[in-house]
Chain A
Amino acid sequence: MHIYQRQKIHWFYELLSLAFIVLIISWLYFNWKINASGYQVSNTWTFLSSSANFFISDHWLPFSPKDPTWYAILIASVNTFILGMSVMMSATVFGFLFGILSTYPKYKLQWFASSYVDVFRNTPLVGQLFFWYFGVFYLMPQTEHIYYDGFVKVSIQSLSIYTGNLFFILSVFYLIVGVYFLCLKRAFGISLSCLLMSFIYFNFSHSHYFTMSVEWLALYTTLTFYTASYIAEIVKASLLSVPNAIDDAAIALGLNDRDKFKLVIYPIALKSMRPMLINQYITIMKNTSIGMLIGYPELMNVLTGTIINSTGQTLICVSLMMCIYLSVCLFCQFLFMRKHEPI
């Protein structure tokens, strides 16, 4: 065997490092034991099934303070999930738009796309959030001068749009699509998310107005613009990484500009950008946690803010929070990165 492929187990060093790690962990644990013995609260899981006793301002599923705490956590997770999903969709659209713009020499808009990326990539997410939430959305009319024209209602707390029966129609549509995919016995992910969307839309169908809180709007705008700049950069990099020879070959085959992009360059670039895009999607899920700073009731806020304040179960809540985020991230990685396709 070649020298750098050799795998030998050095038992002595293995045991030594194991002992070292165990030593560190036990040191941390005993310190914690000593320090935590001063606290009055005992760690129990029973609080999860007792009633929540707090109110969640934004919820996509029905919720009342009498519901159990685990249900409140579920509501918060749905909030996070839907926020993340909507950001994913819009950020992908914007990101591809800007990414393609910045490599497409026909329109002289590269400077615009590149400065967009520059500005949004080099400023902190928290700053952007505060800019949108305290700056821009603060300009919405105060409570005494609510704007209302029968179709749109704008106030400092929320934005309402008249939707009529749209949500009922959408719900039925998604139900049909979901069942269709389910009957095909393939694309279970799509069918499940369609059914979920259908259920959520159904919950809105009893009201003729769709209301979005200003916190949701601010988070959505911030995350969309922020992530779109990253996606634009990824798209640009992968489009530029397609070798010139392929471009030449496509032209030599007689493809016009549009077909060349659609049939040759884009599929190649898509393959190389896939892992990076998935990384971005996972990052979006983690970035929704900044909703805590403006009081949007997403997972981080509810679990480590509200529930800790009302029950005092710090250790359980924090470890639950870490476990949930971790499992979501690992699950996403497992789901998307299973197949290693050669580029």
Chain B
Amino acid sequence: MNQYKLNSTFIIKVVIAVIALFIIAPDFVVLRRFVFGFGQFITPSIFVLFFAILQYTLLKNNKFMALLVWMLIFAFILLNIKDGWPTGLMVNVVLTLMCLPMTFILALLFAVLRFQSTLLVLKIFATVIIESVRGVPLIGLMIFILSVGADMVPAYWMMPKIITLWMIYSLFAGVYLAEVFRGGFQSIPKAYFDGAYALGMSPLKTYVYVLVPKVVIDTIPAAFNVYIGLFKETSLVLLFGYFDLMNIALNYLDFPEHYDESIKIYMMVLILFWIVATIMHEYGHYLFKTFSKYEAKKT
């Protein structure tokens, strides 16, 4: 499974972006604050470690281990949340990471409920949720959750902000991903059902062991588009007063001595976002190439 080679244009693009970043940045301290925020620097390295393990489990095709690692990452994030962390670009990255599995699960659920289920009630419920989330801009959804939705859970729960954000973003991206999965389900030929039923599999088993794996693999590129969109939309957490990359930049530019640096600073911010999004894009490409070897030769 290790035949994938990094795209050379990708490497060149990222190298150029990093060089541009160092040229544009006023000094290294500012750059470091933008990326890691005010907090610790040990946590990012632990993240890298986690991802190495995750990559290993993916290569070994060990789904249970992969799930375990995701849960570890989640627990790690929750345990580490305090005033100084996460801040800076880490907010966007951490929030995206937290949302990935939940988005995936919700999307699968919605797609199956809305487009494959025979239960009318659930179908209508899923349709209403999907259409109402898709029809409202994310800012509107956030304002709704902030003002009305916050009252809809018991007051003594005291939900941490990041959990609220996690729920909003998961719902938002999940609904878009559900649409992607719908396309995947629709493109499955009926022969798959015949083949699976003839082997004695029940409809549920057919879904779990045959259809879902195929849909998930087939839709990796489109799903990563949604994930990149999710990552980009995380810059809206400044509505919650969260010190993400954008908010730190705004804060930095509040000082009169930095007024004339605004173009530079925003270019820096955009380059940082661009680098992460490009890496995500390439990772999606890598996953697709690795898991869809069956597409290699088309008849």
Please choose the segment from A125-133, A192-200, A262-270 that sits at the chain B interface, where 4 or more of its residues have CB less than 8 A away. Answer: A125-133
- Asked whether any CB of chain B lies closer than 8 Å to the CB of A124, the reply is yes
Question: Which residues of the partner chain A approach B158 to less than 8 Å between Cβ atoms?
Answer: none
CA distance A18 to B246 in the complex (A): 43
Question: Which residues of the partner chain A approach B236 to less than 8 Å between Cβ atoms?
Answer: 126
Contact pattern, A 99-127, Cβ under 8 Å of B = 1, otherwise 0: 00000000000000000001100111111
Contact of B147 among A18, A125, A136, A318 (CB under 8 A): A318
- Asked whether any CB of chain B lies closer than 8 Å to the CB of A287, the reply is yes
Contact of B266 among A14, A127, A314, A315 (CB under 8 A): A127
B137/A123 in contact, CB under 8 A: no
Nearest B residue to A22, CB-CB: B121
A124/B135 in contact, CB under 8 A: no
- Asked whether any CB of chain B lies closer than 8 Å to the CB of A336, the reply is no
B267/A131 in contact, CB under 8 A: yes
- Asked whether any CB of chain A lies closer than 8 Å to the CB of B281, the reply is yes
A124/B119 in contact, CB under 8 A: no
B147: shortest Cβ distance to chain A, in Å? 5
Number of residue pairs A-B, CB distance < 8 angstroms: 140
Size of B's binding interface in residues, CB under 8 A: 51
Q: Given contacts A18-B121, A138-B262, A314-B147, are A124 and B235 in contact (CB under 8 A)?
A: yes
- Asked whether any CB of chain B lies closer than 8 Å to the CB of A177, the reply is no
B270/A290 in contact, CB under 8 A: no
A127/B235 in contact, CB under 8 A: yes
B193/A322 in contact, CB under 8 A: no
Nearest B residue to A321, CB-CB: B140
CA distance A85 to B85 in the complex (A): 41
Size of A's binding interface in residues, CB under 8 A: 53
Q: Given contacts A28-B152, A134-B262, are A17 and B121 in contact (CB under 8 A)?
A: yes
B151/A32 in contact, CB under 8 A: yes
Question: Which residues of the partner chain A approach B135 to less than 8 Å between Cβ atoms?
Answer: 325-326, 328-330
Question: Which residues of the partner chain A approach B137 to less than 8 Å between Cβ atoms?
Answer: 286-287, 289, 300, 325
B119/A119 in contact, CB under 8 A: no
A318/B121 in contact, CB under 8 A: no
Question: Which residues of the partner chain B approach A315 to less than 8 Å between Cβ atoms?
Answer: 147-148
Contact of B131 among A135, A286, A300, A326 (CB under 8 A): A326
B29: shortest Cβ distance to chain A, in Å? 21
- Asked whether any CB of chain B lies closer than 8 Å to the CB of A212, the reply is no
B121/A122 in contact, CB under 8 A: no
B147/A7 in contact, CB under 8 A: no
Question: Which residues of the partner chain B approach A326 to less than 8 Å between Cβ atoms?
Answer: 131-132, 135-136
Nearest B residue to A126, CB-CB: B235
- Asked whether any CB of chain B lies closer than 8 Å to the CB of A10, the reply is yes
- Asked whether any CB of chain A lies closer than 8 Å to the CB of B293, the reply is no
B207: shortest Cβ distance to chain A, in Å? 11
CA distance A204 to B7 in the complex (A): 54
Nearest A residue to B275, CB-CB: A122
Question: Which residues of the partner chain B approach A325 to less than 8 Å between Cβ atoms?
Answer: 135-137, 140
- Asked whether any CB of chain A lies closer than 8 Å to the CB of B249, the reply is yes
- Asked whether any CB of chain B lies closer than 8 Å to the CB of A151, the reply is no
Contact of A122 among B131, B154, B273 (CB under 8 A): B273
B173: shortest Cβ distance to chain A, in Å? 14
A322/B277 in contact, CB under 8 A: no
CA distance A130 to B236 in the complex (A): 12
- Asked whether any CB of chain B lies closer than 8 Å to the CB of A21, the reply is yes
A234: shortest Cβ distance to chain B, in Å? 12
CA distance A322 to B234 in the complex (A): 21
Contact pattern, A 30-70, Cβ under 8 Å of B = 1, otherwise 0: 01101110000000000000000000000000000000000
Question: Which residues of the partner chain B approach A4 to less than 8 Å between Cβ atoms?
Answer: 190, 193, 203
11 A-B pairs with C-beta separation under 8 A: A122-B274, A123-B277, A127-B246, A130-B246, A135-B262, A138-B262, A289-B139, A300-B140, A308-B147, A321-B136, A322-B136
Binding site for A on B (CB under 8 A): 13, 118-122, 125, 131-132, 134-137, 139-140, 143-144, 147-148, 151-155, 190, 193, 197, 203, 228, 232-236, 238, 246, 249-250, 253, 262-263, 265-267, 269-270, 273-274, 277-278, 281
Q: Closest 4 A-B residue pairs measured CB to CB?
A: A329-B135, A35-B151, A122-B277, A326-B135
Beyond A36-B151, A130-B250, A135-B265, list 18 extra A-B contacts (CB 8 Å). Answer: A9-B120, A21-B125, A28-B152, A34-B155, A122-B232, A122-B273, A124-B270, A126-B235, A126-B238, A131-B269, A300-B137, A304-B140, A315-B147, A321-B136, A322-B136, A326-B131, A326-B132, A329-B135
